Amino acid sequence: MLGRSLTRTFNLLSVFVNRKTIYYLFLLPAIIPFVTFVLIPFLYTFSLTFRTGDLLKLGQFVGLNNYIRIIHDDTFRKAVVNTVQFVILIVPAELLLSLLLSLILSQRLRFGGTTQAILFIPWIIPITIIAVIWRFLLYPQQGIINYLIGLVGIPPQTWLASESLALPTLVVIEMWRGIGFFVMVWYAAIIEIPRDIYEYAILEGANTFQKLVRITLPLIRPTFIFLVIISIIWAFQLFDSVFVLTHGGPNKATFSAVYYIYRYTFHVGDVGLASTMSFALLGMVLLLTLIIRRLTKEQLQS
Amino acid sequence: MVKRTTAKMKLFLSRIISYLIIVIAVICIGMPFSTVISTSFKATTSVFAYPPEWIPKNPTIANYIVIITEYLFPRWFLNTVIVVLVVVIAKVFIDSLAGFAFAKGQFKGKETIFNILLLTMMIPFAVTMIPTFFIIREFRLVNTYGGIILPMLAKPIGIFMMRQYIVNVPSELLDAARVDGCSEFGIYTRIVLPITSPGLLALATFIFVDEWCNFLWPLIVIQSEKMKVLSLAIPSMQGTWMTNWGQVSAAAVLTIVPVVVLFAIMHKYFVAGIRMGALKG
């Protein structure tokens, strides 16, 4: 029904427009939400960085005042440091571990497909469910993780409630959540490499290590760059696990950049500072992406 | 002869190590799930038994009954299904149509529009979140399905996926249809959509998972209990001081099962979609 009436509408419209302009019509359903919910909000956020006010009433134009205020804001500094720490901890660990797993899986082991599917499950469930699971496992008194480390003689920890362990624990949880995706992408790239290259290398007397370093790794370089960039972007956006697991605590040990934006918008009621933070975040992400692009390009040329 | 046996031994050993690592990885990923499933069948008294009961000694489905009858869980489930289905159908239509225009259309400003879309992919949702909330509030869509759904239609990633797919459709086929008097929209519905159906399925699965897990936006736009989606529902079941872990686990299992079942069915398409998006993106 809907399909037919759509066809009719488009056919009617195409009487008035020629074949070239009809493509603008085809773009329209994509462009309208994009302009309303991405482009306009983006420009609006930029304008908010020059204003004060809260969710209910926006204040006046204050020039660069928000940018000056935010630099002197201890919570801002803490949030940036925490976020960068999180990125530095998780990105290399996750990339390496997933590369190792996908290299193993690419030997075409039995149950390889099933294994990949299992590794992927945490990726497809809502963070609130992940939070339930991990809060239960990490339960301070009689939790299963404390039971397990107790078996090897380590005293029980408070994990997410501990100032020093909270961020590393989040890193582990986020790795648990994301590893399946990274394995899947690495694996897809490794599998694409033609087999005869390896056969030729074996004829030339190459060992496993040489095959890895001389053939596999160089050939999956584009995937490597893609995964580095995307994992950095994601890691910088750390929010939902903070929100459901720690609320930025204890003592702001897990206060992340996006959590700052959320907190200052909806609880502190300072939309100007929140917007400024979101542009600081965008700046960090863009800068890092540019640096990686530049570095990887130079390496390609040399 | 000796050399061959050592080589065989080596291969055997490396296989053993490989399987060992894989088994450890699967246990690390799977153990939390097995725990939550087992907890969902436990009575409150045995949730924190010491040592832990990996398999409940006296399994009960009481938790599930409470979840379904005493909470708004069925309503939350319905909300989630409505939101996810609408987003999936709308997005598949929007993205494939736009992908078709970008892949096969020739019109002024094509490159510019495409590059703007590509560039804005870098913008985290957190940046546009506050004004998006203002706009939704202006439209009086806070606490409505429309409020959850509309901003989610703006993510451009599916357009790139579909463009990649449609570029590979031979142009001769489309030209032949044009000669036969088929309209551009007819070409889209009769040729492009059927040919790219694996891509459409991949995209649909991708969006389904994304939307099923979506948390930040519903958290902002939904305030009433009745309009909540599943990803928001669980926190409201956890008490401030006391959490009934059995009930919460049952709710968790009920939330996980549909998406895992779907993933199991669509696994192939999904992998193909990721491969397509990752390798060419």
Residue-wise pLDDT tens digits, B173-223? 888 888 888 888 888 888 888 888 888 888 888 888 888 888 889 988 998
Q: Which of B22, B28, B29 is nearest to A109 (CA)?
A: B22
Q: Is the pLDDT of residue A246 over 70?
A: yes
pLDDT value of position B89:
94
**Tokens standing for A264?**
């200052």
Q: What are phi and psi of B108, to 5 degrees?
A: -65, 140
Q: What mean pLDDT comes out for the span A250-275?
A: 84
Question: What is the rounded CA–CA span in Å between residue B119 and residue B107?
Answer: 20
Looking at residue A132, what is its pLDDT?
Answer: 82
Q: Which of B178, B238, B278 sits opposite A226 (nearest CB)?
A: B278
A13 or A166: which carries more pLDDT confidence?
A: A166
* Record: contact A134-B124, CB cut-off 8 A: no
Specify the pLDDT at position B136. 92
Please report the pLDDT score of residue A302 as a whole number.
44
Task: Tell me what pLDDT residue B281 has.
Answer: 42
For B119-180, the three-class secondary structure string (H helix, E strand, C coil) is HHCCCCHHHHHHHHHHHHHHCCCCCCHHHHHHHHHHCCHHHHHHHHHHHCCCHHHHHHHHHC
Residues of A in contact with B124 (CB under 8 A): 233, 236-237, 258, 278, 281-282, 285
* B30–A41 C-beta distance less than 8 A: no
Over the stretch A105-133, which tens digit does the pLDDT of each residue have? 888 777 877 888 888 888 888 888 888 88
Q: What is the pLDDT of residues A184-230, one digit of tens each?
A: 888 888 888 888 888 888 888 877 788 788 888 888 888 888 888 88
Query: Where residue A152 falls among pLDDT bands split at 50, 70, 90?
Result: confident
State residue B236 phi and psi, 5-degree precision: -75, -10
Residue A7 pLDDT exceeds 70: no
Nearest residue, CB atoms, A147 vs list B51, B101, B150: B51
CB contact under 8 A, B98 and A123: no
**What tens digit of pLDDT does each residue of B124-162 get?**
787 888 889 989 998 998 989 999 999 999 888 888 888
Contact of B112 with chain A, judged by CB distance below 8 Å, is answered with: no
Residues in A touching B235 (Cβ below 8 Å):
128, 131, 244
Partner residue opposite A278 with nearest CB, options B35, B127, B281:
B127
pLDDT at site B242: 64
**Cβ-defined contact of A39 to B131 (cutoff 8 Å):** no
Q: Residue B280 has what pLDDT?
A: 47
- Look up the ipTM and state it: 0.81
User: Looking up tokens 């590979």, which residue turns up?
Assistant: B168
A106 touching B (Cβ < 8 Å): no
Quick one: average pLDDT of A6-32? Answer: 74
Mean of pLDDT values over A9-16 = 60
- In chain A, residues with a C-beta closer than 8 Å to the C-beta of B19 are 109
Average pLDDT of chain A is 83
- Which residue out of A133, A138, A149 would a mutagenesis test of the B interface target, given it has the greatest number of B Cβ atoms within 10 Å? A133
Question: How big is the A-B interface in CB pairs under 8 Å?
Answer: 276
Q: Does B22 touch chain A (CB under 8 A)?
A: yes
Q: How confident is the model at residue B84 (pLDDT cuts 50, 70, 90)?
A: very high
Q: Chain B 242-281, CB below 8 Å of chain A: which residues?
A: 243, 245, 248-249, 252, 255-256, 259-260, 263-264, 267, 271, 274-275, 278-279, 281
* Predicted pLDDT at B278: 53
What one-character DSSP code corresponds to residue B42? Answer: S
Percent of chain B with pLDDT over 70: 90
| Digit-coded pLDDT (tens) for B245-264 | 888 888 888 888 888 888 88
Least confident of A4-8, A192-196, A265-269, A271-275: A4-8
B186 CB neighbours in chain A (<8 A) are 7, 11
B176's torsion region: left (phi>0), alpha (psi -120 to 50) or beta? alpha
Cross-chain CB nearest to B100 (options A26, A147, A192):
A26
**pLDDT tens digit string along B99-125?**
998 988 888 888 888 888 888 877 778
